[in-house]
Each structure stands twice: as structure tokens, then as C-alpha cells.
Structure 1
Amino acid sequence: SGDVPDVTYWDMSLSMANDYEKWVRAGLIKEIKGIDKYPNVKKHMDAMRVDDALMVDGKKYIWPCSKDTTLVGDISCRGFIYRKDWARKLGLVKEDDIYTWEEMVEIAQQCVEKDPGGVGKNNIAGLACTTWAWPSSLGIEQFTAGVIGSGGYTKKDGKWEWNARAPEYLEAIKETKRLYDEGIIWVDNPLCKGDEPSQKFTAGEIAVYYDNIFAYNLHDKRTKMTENIPGLKSEDIAYMKVKTPYGKFAAIRDTEFWCVSLFSAKMPDAKFDRLMKAWDWMLTDEGYFTRQIGIRGIDWEFDGDSVKYLWPYNEETKRYERPKDNPRFIGSVCYHPIGITEGFGFLDPNIKSTNSGKDAYDYCKWCEENATLIAPNYELSTFKAPNKDKYGSFGSDMRDTIIQIIISSTDPDKDWNDFLKSKEDKINLVIDELNAGLK
């Protein structure tokens, strides 16, 4: 209809780039220009890469909503945490939390066999992951780090190749199947839903667990588990840095944005300039904490390079709590079209009691310096060609086949190679497009 709001906040993935370009070419979206007079807006846009990858005819139309994890190089907190107290009881603990793949598996296996927490043979699980990370996080991610890239295809020796055809991919599938068949991976992991794996870990029934263990997630687990498990300390739930069989550590470098904001082509320049002036202040340090907490001098104040709450401290909950008679904070959601404040978890005084903010920050920085990073490829993700647009990389089909192999295959090599063969003709069409158009 052409009736576009002044600002549209859109949960856009890179796979939706075609829709976005159609809207631009239909004249619905306003070009982002004239922002040099707003230093914080310009700094924000200069730091982003996705807006460059999504330019249309050399012009920018997208405002990427930053994830606010630039202070850790956009490194994700995805990875393993483990029951360090159980590993210590078994005599397998490494105080620096660095383990080989085999050592990690040994801890998981012995926890299943010896049940050091006394949770019961029918309850204990050695290794598990959150539902959205199954099954790739329990072998494939680690075995293929540095071998394949993100986006389904990898360029090697100047030519593109389908990730699924890498020999290490099949090796990883077979390793995950072995761990499942031997009862080391939680038997219900393939079928569970929602946050069931997270709840099971929090109940004290999983030895090694993979998830996005961002600061608030870690704090929540440490708080609940230390309250409910006698003798458990926060530091007994720790990040586990696991070396792959190829001597590498794997970590995820996230996309830099969560969503995007688009501006209506009908939005007057004067209104756009007023909005940019407001957003320029919102991107200052004071604006950042205002978006996250509330009003400076009432809700918070600067504390060196960090921030402190001005609310009463509740000794029972170990939190600073907003007084009930305070004007109600409207929340940070209304500011999301600018960007989210995920990085605040590294600084939040309300989770200092478990040291989760610092531990999450230290983990991400360690990964940034030591790990092989699985990073987004914006050029590949936004590359458009008929067969690539039609077939992608068969990611869903790959996942379904892998799960079936893990659960029930008697010949993983044959089943996987049969799958590869079934997709060969279509995949080769995509690869021809990539080799011709994405040098």
C-alpha cells in the first residue's frame, strides 16, 4: 500500500535481503545520508559492516541495531559450562578450565558412570546442549572450526565448496553419534523442547552443557543452583574451554546486529534530522545508561568507567531494586530501534554477587585471542543468484539427516554420502553461481 511507518523495526536476517531490496527499489525506504554532523551516529554506522554489504546502487538504507558486544569483538558467549566441583571430585579438574576434547568427554563419561553429585543413575547426563544448538554444538562446530566457514559454503584454493562435503563434517557426525550411542550425550536431547536442557542443568543433572551462556544466563544459573544445591559455589559452574581434536579452540563471532531499522521514504528530512539528533545523544554513555536503567541522578550515576545504581540494596535478593514509588521506567524496548544493550551484562552491578559479568567478559576476550572464530560472511549471505536463492545450502535437510543418523543409522558413512549424492546436482548449480559471481 506504500503506507510505511516513519521507523520500522524489523527482525531481519541476511536471508531476507531480497525483500529489503525490493522495498528500496519500490521507493518505500529512505536513504540514510547527511549524518556526518552527528558524531555518535556516524561512529555507529562506521563501525557496522552489514550496512555496507546491503547497499543498493551504492547507497545505504539500513540502520543496523547494534548488539552492543563490540567491547568483546562481537564474540558470542556460546560454548560449554560444566560442573567443576564434579570434575574435582573425580580428580579430572584443570584449574584453568582448559581441556582437550578427549578430556571433556572423559569428564562427561565418568560423571555418567560414577554420578559424583548423587543425582541418580536415571537422572544424570554427561553432555547436553540447548535445543536450538542440537546437534551441531556437540561435535560439528568443534571438529570443523577453521575448516569450513559460515553460510553453508567455503572458498578453498579460489573455488567455492559446499561445507557438507568436507571430510571433517562426516567425522564430526560420527563422533556425535558415538557419544550418543554410548550414553554420554543426554538421551532426550534430540526430542526435548524449549528450555528443558537448561532446566535440567540448573537442576544439577548435567555435567557439561552447551548454550549461549551470556552474563545474565550464567548469573541466573549460578544463583538458582547455589540456592538449591548444598555446598555449591558460584565458581563451581564455570566456562569450559575445549580444544578440538585438531588442536584448536572454536568460538562464534556473532553478527554485529540484532535487527534493523528502516525509515519511510515519505519521512520529511527535517523529522529525520530531529530523530538523528536524539539518537546521537542516545548513543553517548549517558544515553546508553538512560536506555538501560532510567534517569541519571534518580536511577543511576557514573562510577568511574562503569555505573552504579541509586536504588536501595536488598540484602535478601542481593540486588539493587527500583523503589516502588519511583516513576515507572518505560523499559529499554522502546529504544531497540537504535540498538540493544546486551553488553550491559558485563557491567551490571546487580550480577556482581556471582561474578558472572566479569567471567562472561573474560571468557569472550579469551576466545577472541585464542580461538578459531566462526564468523559471519556478509558477502556470501547477501549474494543473490537464482539457484542460491532457491536452494540455499540445504541447511534444514542437513540437520534432519544428521539427527536421523545420530539416532538410528547403522551405517553413517553410507547414509551421509547418499544424502550428499541426492543434493549434488542442485548444489553444483549454486557453486557455479558462486564461482562466477563471488570472486
Structure 2
Amino acid sequence: MKRSKRLLALLLSTACVATLAAGCSGGGESSTPSGGGSGGGDSSDEHMTITIGYWDADSALGSRDTDKVLQTIEEELNVTFEPVNVTWDDYNQKFQLWASSDSLPDIFAADIRTTATFAQWANDGLLHEIPSDLSAYPNLEKYLDSPESDTCMVNGKMYCIFRQTYTEQAETIEDRSIVYRWDLAQKAGITKEPTNWTEFREMIQAIIEADPEGKNIQGMTACGPDFLVGPFFTYSMPAAVVGGNTFRWVDNGDGTYVPAYFAGENLGDDALPTWQLLRDMYQEGTIEADVALGTTETAYNKFLSGQSAAMLATGFAGPWDGMIQYWEETNHTNYTDVVKCLDLMPSVDGNAYYWMWDYAWSESYISSNVSDAKFDRIMQLYDYLLSDEGILVSRYGFEGDTYEIIDDKYIQESEDLRTKYPSINIFHDLAAWTPVEKYEYVSLVPEDIQAICDARVEAARNAPVPEFDTRYTDIFVGLNTGFGLSLADDLMTIMTGDQPVEDMWQTIIDGYKSQGLEDFIQQVNDQAKELGYQS
């Protein structure tokens, strides 16, 4: 039995129509929630209702009468959890709307801590501070004793709980994959798998022209417009894959540091090859025309049904729940026999980079409107979910019922776990995608698929790393400017535009300049000199 790698796509399964295998990082030992936190001495005799804003929360919390996991956790904490439903297509808009009316759920998960929105909400008083003294919650305290906690700070105070996703940088390659119909490529006369973007484009164009199945097949679909950032930015600006306000800074050749997004002899020159590649692929149909409207569901459906020649999604195993498990029934072929995963593509400098970004995708927030007693109870919840007992109950249910311990080393869940106890679709990941676990997880993903995932991580371990200096990011974040980069929006604007790429990019750069870009660059470099980072 082999231990499954941590797959983001797989974990996002239940909501994003994918599922993630368990791994190791974070965690704790105490198995019962602690009473009396910093907020004012909650008495556990007081029953409370706690609202949770989470993907597909209505479904996850909709079986209270039969869901023993939900019953167990609610009884443990003397609470009732009330769902506040969001989907993968509307969660950002809904949380923004609720924030504008100061009606955020008691607990909610989002991915804003690397954006200007995080600081804005904290400064506007919408988010409850996480106290520095967490001794009443030892499992949570241990979990948050991590450098990742620095990303949860605004003005020196913590306002969210990161949800750790990966145990090493190379695993972030499993955030994205481009898969393509190799069987159709062969029928279209292609004899060699693509090793660069030119060959990939030629292959997709050949499939479209031949249309072997007569379905009017189109080019590459994607699970969302933001999915294009990682795989394509590595073409000419690999250090620029992080946006928001935690973007990376690089030496621009003269000792001056600039955001990697704007690197080049002239501000932003390095981005031009990427923008041109995207524009060309979009105009020729290698990237489908309506990619801006893409969602996980539509992308899976198009690729599964043979309407798209390629798909940009999460990691290779990511679509298991939402698509791959239905492949043989739908197409009467084995998935890995007919679908291939695109290798890392060489950049303009000849190196093949991957998208290196944060270890922890998304985070938990607590509304500032909760009472001190309710805040304490919520802290108890997170402490319990990170305990040995809480990890087993919230992720696997009950031994002999929905999981088995094998050789006192491995844990294997039943296939009906998430349907029998749907609340696991929330509690499995609410505190962390990958807490420390006592047992190693046996993945339900077939070995041929898992082997490809493992090989991709190994390739990332051996891939070159673009140069950047995180100290400059720290300086910039400390300025609390409210300035942030909108990578996906910029990408879609240029890719789908009809004006010359250079002109459209310059207009976008001018917009960032009007927000103070050049002044911020000067401030960051001035502070770097004061700190001795520059001579």
C-alpha cells in the first residue's frame, strides 16, 4: 500500500467536483475542545447556533437526522451548525455582497488573504482578530506555529486561519494540469506528444480540423479564467504567478527590485511574450472562444463528452470525482490510455518552470459580529478538528463503519463515506486541507493516475526555480497600500482584445501607475537600502 500524495484537486473534489488525498502538516494532540478561551469565558452549557459559509453547505449540513459525524461534532461542542450556501462559481461575489452589508457568516472560508480585500476587511472591522495567546486551544496553537501565519496578519494582528494544502513547494504543481485527447491527436495524424507550445498548438489545431468523432470539437477549455495564469505565465515571467498584494519582486538587472509582473528593460517588457502567446492561441482557437465563461462543471462536461480537445484544470487526479470516474462508462476507454498530461513547457529562456505559489490555498475567517462566547466556541471547534480524535471523526467518520485501520499504519475510507455522512464535505477541510494525521491515507484514486501525479511532483522537484526575493514582498505588504495585482483580469483583457498586445498592456501598466506603482517601487527599494538589502 502506498501513501497518497497530497492532491489539491482531489481535496477540492466535493465542492469543486474533485477530492484530495490526505497528507501531513500542521496538527495537534489533545482530543477534546478546550473551554474558556480569550474571549470571555464561554460556558459550554449554553447551546449556540453557528453559521458556516462554505461551498455546497446546504447539501453538507442537510442530513442532520442521519449524519452521525454532524451529530457527533455538534454534541461535542453543544452547537447547531446552520449552512450559508455558496458555490464555486459565486462564492467571491456572495462574500463581497455580505461584507458590504456587514452580514458575513459566523465562519466562512475564502481565498482573499493575498489580496487587498483582506486588509480592507480587517481594517473595516469586519473580521474577528485571532488572539496571540492560544494556549486554551493547544492543537490550534500548534498548527498556527508556522511561517504561514505571517500571511494571516494585518498590522501585526492575525485575522484568519490558513488552511494548509501542501507539505512541500513541488506539490503546488498539482494545482494545475493541462490534459489532452491523445487518442484523437493520433487519429488526426499526430505521432509525437508535444514538448513545447508550438507543438501543442499544432496538435490541437490538427484535432479541431480532423474532428475524428464528428462532434465539432473545440480547443482547450478551462475550469475558470484564472486557471490560465500559472501554466502560461511560466512562459516569460515565471516569478509573476502570484498576484494580489503578495506578488514577488525581482532584480530588474540594475540592482533595483520591481514586481516580477513588471520586470523588463522597460516596465513590463518581460510579460509581452506571454501575452502574445495567449492572444495567438485564443485567436486561432487553440484556447476556446468562451474560456472566460468557464467553470469546473462546464469544463468537465466538455472534456468528458468530447467537445474539447484539451482541458486546463486542477492536478491530474483533480477531476476524479467530477469526471474521471465516469470516463470509461461514457467513452468506453481507459482514461490514462487516451488522455495525456502536458509536460512542463519550456519558457523563452529554455527552462521549464512550474507555478510556485502558496502552500496554503484559502483560509478561515470569523465574523467580528460574533459574541465573545461564540468566538470561544468557534475556537474550540477548530481545536477539536485539529486533534487526533477530531481529525478521524471529521475526515473519516467511524472505524468499522466508514474506515479501517490497516497494519496500524494505513487508513482506508469506504467509497460511500461522503454520501453516508455528507457533513464530512465541510469538516474534512474546514480547519486544514492537510493536518498531521496519525495514519497514512490509502487513496481511492487508481494507481495509474496516482503514478502520473507522483511523476509530476518529482519533475517539479527537479525544475529550475526563478529568482525572487521574499524580503521585498514583506516590505511591500508592510506598507499597507491597498495596491494589488489583478492577474486573471489583465490576462483575459489582453487575450480576448482586438488591439495590439503591446498597446493593451501599456494601458494596463498606466492604470497601475495611476494607483501609485512607481512610488511603491521607490518606497520598497528605499526601505531595502535602509535594511541593508542593497548597497
Which TM-score band applies after superposition, normalised by the shorter structure? 0.7 to 0.9
Matched, 1:81 2:187: no
Q: Give unmatched runs, 5+ long, in structure 1.
A: 312-319
Given the alignment, which residue of 159, 166, 181 partners 2:268?
A: 166
The 3 A distance-change label for structure 1 pair 216 and 191 is closer
Aligned equivalent of 1:314: none
The change in CA–CA distance for 1:61 and 1:74 in structure 2 (over 3 A counts) is farther
Aligned to 2:249: 154
Q: Is the 8 A contact 1:204 1:225 kept in 2?
A: no
- Asked if 1:18 corresponds to 2:123, the answer is no
Distance 1:147 1:43, change over 3 A: same
Question: Given the alignment of the two structures, is residue 339 of structure 1 paired with residue 432 of structure 2, yes or no?
Answer: yes
Match of 1:109 among 192, 205, 208: 205
**Aligned-pair distance for 1:78?**
0.5
**Post-superposition shift, 1:402?**
0.8
Residues 164 and 433 in structure 2, CA contact (< 8 A), matched pair in contact too: yes
Task: Confirm or deny: 8 A CA contact 2:354 2:463 kept in the other structure.
Answer: no
Between the aligned partners of 2:511 and 2:155, the Cα distance in structure 1 is 38
2:402 is aligned, of 296, 299, 302, to 299
Contact 1:216 1:351 in 2 (8 A): no
> Does structure 2 conserve the Cα–Cα contact (< 8 Å) formed by 1:145 and 1:248?
no
Deviation at 1:176, TM superposition (A): 1.7
Please say if 1:119 is aligned against 2:213. Answer: yes
1:95-128 deviation line (CA, Å, top 9, x unaligned): xxx722233223222222333xx223x7222433
Cα deviation for residue 300 of structure 1 reads 0.9
Q: CA separation in 2, counterparts of 1:41 and 1:205? A: 46
- Counterpart of 1:99 in structure 2 is 195
Instruction: Assess if the C-alpha contact under 8 Å between 2:352 and 2:463 holds in 1.
Output: yes
1:364 has 2:464 as partner: no
1:177 matched to which residue of 2? 279
Q: Identical aligned pairs, as a percentage? A: 14
Aligned positions of 1:390-405 closer than 5 A: 391-393=483-485, 395=487, 398-399=490-491, 401-405=493-497
Aligned residues: CA RMSD: 4.4
Aligned residue number for residue 163 of structure 2: 65
Matched, 1:29 2:129: yes
Aligned position for 2:92: none
Measured after TM superposition, the shift of residue 235 of structure 1 is 3.5
- Give the CA deviation at 1:423: 4.4
Match of 2:372 among 255, 263, 266: 266
* C-alpha distance in 1 between matches for 2:391 and 2:426: 13
Mapped partners of 1:86, 1:200: distance in 2: 15
Q: Deviations over 1:142-163 (max 9, x none)?
A: 3321477644563313422461
Change (3 A) 1:376 1:87: farther
Partners in 2 of 1:171 and 1:297 — Cα distance?
56
Inter-CA distance 191–88: structure 2 relative to 1 (3 Å threshold): same
Relative to the length of structure 2, the TM-score reads: 0.62
The answer to whether structure 1 residue 224 and structure 2 residue 326 are counterparts is yes
Amino acid paired to 1:70: T
* CA gap 1:30/1:86 in 2 versus in 1, 3 angstroms: closer
Please give the alpha-carbon distance, in whole angstroms, between the structure 2 residues aligned to 1:418 and 1:330.
Answer: 47
| 3-state SS in 2 of match to 1:223 | helix
Distance 1:135 1:113 in 2: 24
Structure 2 portions without partners, runs of 5+: 1-38, 41-48, 51-78, 80-105
Query: How far is 1:349 from its partner?
Result: 4.2
Q: Distance in 2 between matches of 1:49 and 1:114?
A: 52
- Structure 1 contact 12–259 (Cα < 8 Å) conserved: yes
Deviation, 1:322, is 5.5
Distance 1:91 1:276, change over 3 A: closer
Partner of 2:30 in structure 1? none
Deviation at residue 373 of structure 1 after TM alignment: 7.2
TM-score, structure 1 as length reference: 0.74
Matched residue type, 2:143:
H
Cα distance change of structure 1 residues 19 and 185 upon mapping to structure 2, 3 Å threshold: closer
Q: Distance in 1 between the 2:295 and 2:424 partners?
A: 29
Q: 1:414 aligns with which of 482, 498, 503?
A: 503
| Secondary structure at 2:282 match in 1 | helix
Q: Which residue of 2 aligns with 1:430?
A: 520
- Contact kept in structure 1, 2:227 and 2:312, CA below 8 Å: no
After superposition, what is the alpha-carbon deviation per residue over 1:330-376, rounded to whole angstroms, capped at 9, x for unaligned?
A: 424146442235999x9554333x74344334423432432647999
Which of 313, 320, 331 is residue 211 of structure 1 equivalent to?
A: 313
Contact conserved, 2:250 with 2:467, CA < 8 A, in 1? no
Query: Aligned pair in 2 of structure 1 residues 12, 134: CA closer, same or farther (>3 Å)?
Result: closer
